[in-house]
C-alpha cells in the first residue's frame, strides 16, 4: 500500500466519522459542511476520475452503512460526483481557485438533489419544504467551505500522477 | 601676583577657621546640638542627595528588572500553560456538569416511570443530511434494544428504533416525514396521526384532519394508547399545536406541532423496551 492509498483510506474513515458526529454540531444557519462531498470532490480533482470514483464508492458505502441503512443512497451521488469532477479536472486547470469554488457548489447541489431523488425512490416520501429549508444554507455553507478543504487536501495529498485512460 | 598670592595669609586663616569650626561643631554636638553650618550644608546638600538617591534607586530597580526578566518570561510561559490547562479542565467540568444534569433528569424520569423498562442511551451519530431526521444511539441488541422500540426523553417522544446492531441502533425521529405516530390532542381526546412535517424542517403535523376536528393553537399533543410504537399505558408529549391550517377546499385541515423535544440538542435518550409476554 503506497502512501497516497494509505492517506486516502485514513481520510475516508475520518471524514465519514466526523460527518456523523462533529459536523452536525457545527451547523451554520442550519447548513452543515458535507465532508463526504468535499473529500470525493477533492480526490477527483487531485487524482482524476478513477481515484475519485473509487474513493466515492468507499466513502458512500461506509456512509450508507453508518447513517442510512440503504445502500446506494450516499454512494451513488458520490460516485457521480467523483466521475464528473474527475472529468472537469481534465478540462480545466485544476489549481485555478474559481474551479475549486465551482466544484464545491456544483458537487453539493448535485449531492443534495440526487440524495433527495433517491430518498424519494427508496422511502416513498417527499421531503419538499423541509428539503428546501435545509438546501439553501447547506449549499451556501458548503460552497464557501469546500474550496478551502480542496486546497488543504491538495497540499497534504502526495504528488499526483495524471491517470492514463 | 594673583589674588591668591596677595591674600594667602587671609585665605589660610579663613580655611583654618572653617576647618576648626567644623571640628568644633562635631566636638560640640553633644553639647549644643546641630550647628548652623551643618544645617546649612544639609539644606544645600539634601536636594542633591535626594536626586542621587532617586537615580541610584532607579538604576538598582532597572538592574533588578533586567535580572528578573528571564525569570519573568519563564514564569509567564509556565503560568500561561497552567492557565490553559485549567481552562481546559474547567470546560471539561462544565461539560460534565451539564451532562450530569441531563442524565440526572433522565434517571429521575426513569425512576418515576418504574413500570417502564427504560435503557439510557447516548446519541453517537446523526443522519446523512440535515433533512434526514435519524440518529444512531450507543445501545443495541446486546443491551436489549429491539426494532420498533420507542425512544423518549423526560420531555417527550423522540422516535422509534428502526434498525438494531449489536452495540448500536438507528432511531427514526418523529420529525422525519417517514415517521407516523398515533396521537391525541390532550384536551379533546380526539385521535390523529402525527407525521414528520415535510414542509417544515424539524416539525411535526397532525395530518388529514376533518374540517370539524377540535384542535386549536396551544393545545398539547400526546401519544395515543392506540398506537403500536409507544407503550399504550403511558402518554408521551409530542408537542404543542402552533397553528391550524385549513385546506383550500375547506374539507380538511392540518395542525403544525412544535415538538416538545429539542432535536437539535438531543444527546441522551431513553429506549423503552417492549415487555414481551
Contacts (Cβ under 8 Å, ≥6 apart) of A59: A12, A15, A16, A36, A39, A40, A74, A75, A78
- Residue A97 contacts B, CB cutoff 8 Å: no
Residue B107 lies in a domain: no
Residue B102 lies in a domain: no
| CA gap B28, B25 in Å, rounded | 5
pLDDT of A165 reads: 46
Q: Which of A16, A18, A61, A67 to mutate to test the interface with B (most CBs of B within 10 A)?
A: A67
How confident is the prediction for chain B on average, in pLDDT? 86
- Residue A115 contacts B, CB cutoff 8 Å: yes
Provide the domain limits for residue B135.
113-277
pLDDT of A129 reads: 80
What would the mean pLDDT of B205-219 be, rounded to a whole number?
89
Contact indicator for B163, B271 with CB cutoff of 8 Å: no
Write out the DSSP string of B133-178.
-EEEES--GGGT--TT-EEE-SSSEEEEEEEE-SS-EEEEETTSTT
| CA gap B98, B176 in Å, rounded | 28
Q: How confident is the model at residue B242 (pLDDT cuts 50, 70, 90)?
A: very high
* Bridge partners (DSSP) listed for residue B185: B221
pLDDT in tens, B165-197: 999 999 999 999 999 999 999 887 888 899 998
- Residue A76: name the closest of A130, A48, A117, A124 by CA: A117
Residue B99 lies in a domain: no
| CA gap A162, B172 in Å, rounded | 44
Measured between CA atoms, how close is B165 to chain A, in angstroms?
A: 11
> Which residues of chain B have a CB within 8 Å of the CB of A77?
none
Residue B19 lies in a domain: no
pLDDT of A160 reads: 62
A20, A128, A138 ranked by CB distance to B126: nearest: A20
Residue B56 lies in a domain: no
What would the mean pLDDT of B218-228 be, rounded to a whole number?
88
B126, B134, B201 ranked by CB distance to A134: nearest: B201
| CA gap A58, A74 in Å, rounded | 10
Question: Is residue B145 within a helix (H) or strand (E), and if so which, with residue range?
Answer: none
Cell (9 digits) for A159: 504528488
Contact indicator for B209, B252 with CB cutoff of 8 Å: yes
Q: How confident is the model at residue B222 (pLDDT cuts 50, 70, 90)?
A: very high
pLDDT of B207 reads: 86
Measured between CA atoms, how close is B130 to chain A, in angstroms?
A: 6
* Alpha carbon distance, N-terminus to C-terminus of chain B: 139
pLDDT of A1 reads: 65
pLDDT of A102 reads: 87
- Residue A67 contacts B, CB cutoff 8 Å: yes
Residue B119 lies in a domain: yes
User: Tell me, what CATH number does B233's domain have?
Assistant: 2.40.10.340
pLDDT of B10 reads: 83
- Residue A153: name the closest of A2, A10, A24, A1 by CA: A10
pLDDT of B135 reads: 93
Check B201 against A63: CB less than 8 A apart.
no
Dihedrals phi, psi of B148, to nearest 5 degrees:
95, -10
**Number of structural domains chain B divides into:** 1
Indicate the DSSP class of residue A97.
H
Cell (9 digits) for B151: 425512544
- Residue A150: name the closest of A67, A44, A49, A48 by CA: A44
Helix A75-91 vs helix A49-63: angle between axes, to the nearest 10 degrees?
Answer: 160
Cell (9 digits) for B142: 446486546
Q: Which residue stretches of chain A have pLDDT < 70?
A: 1, 92-95, 159-165
* Bridge partners (DSSP) listed for residue B205: B195, B256
Query: Which residue of chain A comes nearest to B124, CA vs CA?
Result: A21
pLDDT in tens, B79-119: 999 999 999 999 999 988 988 888 888 888 888 887 888 99
- Residue A30 contacts B, CB cutoff 8 Å: yes
Three-state secondary-structure class, residue B222: strand
> Which residues of chain A have a CB within 8 Å of the CB of B126?
20-21, 24, 67
pLDDT of B146 reads: 92
Q: Which of B131, B137, B203 to mutate to test the interface with A (most CBs of A within 10 A)?
A: B131
Cell (9 digits) for B120: 439510557
Dihedrals phi, psi of A28, to nearest 5 degrees:
-125, 115
Check B178 against A138: CB less than 8 A apart.
no
pLDDT in tens, A131-154: 888 888 899 999 889 989 988 988
Check A130 against B131: CB less than 8 A apart.
yes
Query: Which residue of chain B comes nearest to A127, CA vs CA?
Result: B198
Separate counts of helices (H) and strands (E) for chain A: 6, 0
pLDDT in tens, A81-104: 999 998 877 776 556 778 888 888
What b/e readout covers B147-162, taking b as 16+ CB neighbours within 10 angstroms? eebbbbbbbbbbbbbb
B128, B177, B178 ranked by CB distance to A115: nearest: B128
Residue B149 lies in a domain: yes
Cell (9 digits) for A125: 416520501
B124, B132, B178 ranked by CB distance to A21: nearest: B124
B162, B198, B200 ranked by CB distance to A126: nearest: B198
- Residue A145: name the closest of A95, A89, A105, A113 by CA: A105
Q: How confident is the model at residue B258 (pLDDT cuts 50, 70, 90)?
A: very high
pLDDT at residue B148 tops 80: yes
| CA gap B169, B163 in Å, rounded | 6
Place of cell 438533489: A113
pLDDT of B145 reads: 93
CA angle B232, B184, B118 (to 5 degrees): 35
Q: Which of B95, B126, B130, B199 to mutate to test the interface with A (most CBs of A within 10 A)?
A: B130
pLDDT at residue B4 tops 80: no
pLDDT of B175 reads: 93
Residue B160 lies in a domain: yes
Place of cell 491517470: A163
| CA gap B4, B8 in Å, rounded | 5
Check B134 against A129: CB less than 8 A apart.
no
Dihedrals phi, psi of A4, to nearest 5 degrees:
-65, -45
Amino acid at each position: 500500500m503506497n502512501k497516497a492509498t494509505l492517506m486516502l483510506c485514513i481520510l475516508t474513515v475520518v471524514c465519514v466519522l466526523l460527518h456523523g458526529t462533529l459536523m452536525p454540531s457545527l451547523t451554520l444557519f442550519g447548513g452543515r459542511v458535507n465532508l463526504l462531498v468535499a473529500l470525493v470532490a477533492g480526490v477527483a480533482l487531485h487524482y482524476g476520475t478513477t481515484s475519485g470514483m473509487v474513493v466515492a464508492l468507499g466513502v458512500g458505502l461506509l456512509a450508507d452503512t453508518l447513517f442510512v441503512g440503504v445502500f446506494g443512497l450516499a454512494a451513488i451521488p458520490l460516485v457521480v460526483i467523483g466521475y464528473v469532477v474527475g472529468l472537469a479536472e481534465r478540462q480545466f486547470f485544476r489549481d485555478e481557485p474559481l474551479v475549486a469554488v465551482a466544484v464545491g457548489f456544483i458537487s453539493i447541489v448535485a449531492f443534495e438533489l440526487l440524495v433527495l431523488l433517491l430518498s424519494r425512490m427508496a422511502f416513498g416520501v417527499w421531503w419538499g419544504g423541509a428539503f428546501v429549508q435545509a438546501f439553501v444554507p447547506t449549499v451556501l455553507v458548503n460552497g464557501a467551505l469546500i474550496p478551502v478543504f480542496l486546497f488543504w487536501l491538495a497540499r497534504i495529498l502526495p504528488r499526483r500522477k495524471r491517470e492514463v485512460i | 601676583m594673583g589674588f591668591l598670592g596677595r591674600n594667602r595669609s587671609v585665605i589660610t586663616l579663613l580655611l583654618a577657621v572653617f576647618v576648626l569650626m567644623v571640628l568644633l561643631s562635631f566636638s560640640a554636638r553633644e553639647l549644643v546640638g546641630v550647628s548652623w553650618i551643618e544645617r546649612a550644608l544639609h539644606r544645600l546638600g539634601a536636594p542633591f542627595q535626594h536626586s542621587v538617591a532617586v537615580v541610584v534607586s532607579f538604576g538598582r530597580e532597572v538592574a533588578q528588572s533586567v535580572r528578573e526578566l528571564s525569570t519573568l518570561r519563564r514564569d509567564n510561559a509556565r503560568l500561561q500553560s497552567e492557565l490553559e490547562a485549567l481552562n481546559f479542565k474547567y470546560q471539561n467540568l462544565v461539560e460534565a456538569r451539564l451532562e450530569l444534569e441531563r442524565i440526572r433528569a433522565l434517571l429521575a424520569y426513569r425512576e418515576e416511570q418504574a413500570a417502564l423498562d427504560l435503557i439510557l442511551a447516548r446519541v453517537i451519530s446523526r443522519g446523512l443530511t440535515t433533512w434526514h431526521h435519524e440518529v444512531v444511539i450507543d445501545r443495541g441488541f446486546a443491551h436489549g434494544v429491539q426494532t420498533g422500540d420507542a425512544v423518549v426523553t423526560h420531555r417527550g417522544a423522540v422516535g422509534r428504533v428502526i434498525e438494531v446492531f449489536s452495540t448500536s441502533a438507528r432511531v427514526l425521529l418523529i420529525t422525519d416525514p417517514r415517521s407516523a405516530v398515533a396521537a391525541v390532542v390532550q384536551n379533546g381526546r380526539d385521535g390523529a396521526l402525527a407525521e414528520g412535517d415535510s414542509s417544515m424542517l424539524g416539525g411535526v403535523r397532525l395530518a388529514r384532519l376533518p374540517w370539524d376536528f377540535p384542535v386549536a393553537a396551544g393545545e398539547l399533543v400526546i401519544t395515543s394508547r392506540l398506537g403500536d410504537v409507544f407503550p399504550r399505558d403511558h402518554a408521551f408529549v409530542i408537542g404543542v399545536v402552533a397553528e391550524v391550517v385549513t385546506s383550500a377546499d375547506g374539507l380538511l385541515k392540518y395542525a403544525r406541532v412544535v415538538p416538545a423535544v429539542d432535536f437539535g440538542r438531543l444527546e441522551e435518550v431513553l429506549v423503552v423496551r417492549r415487555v414481551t409476554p
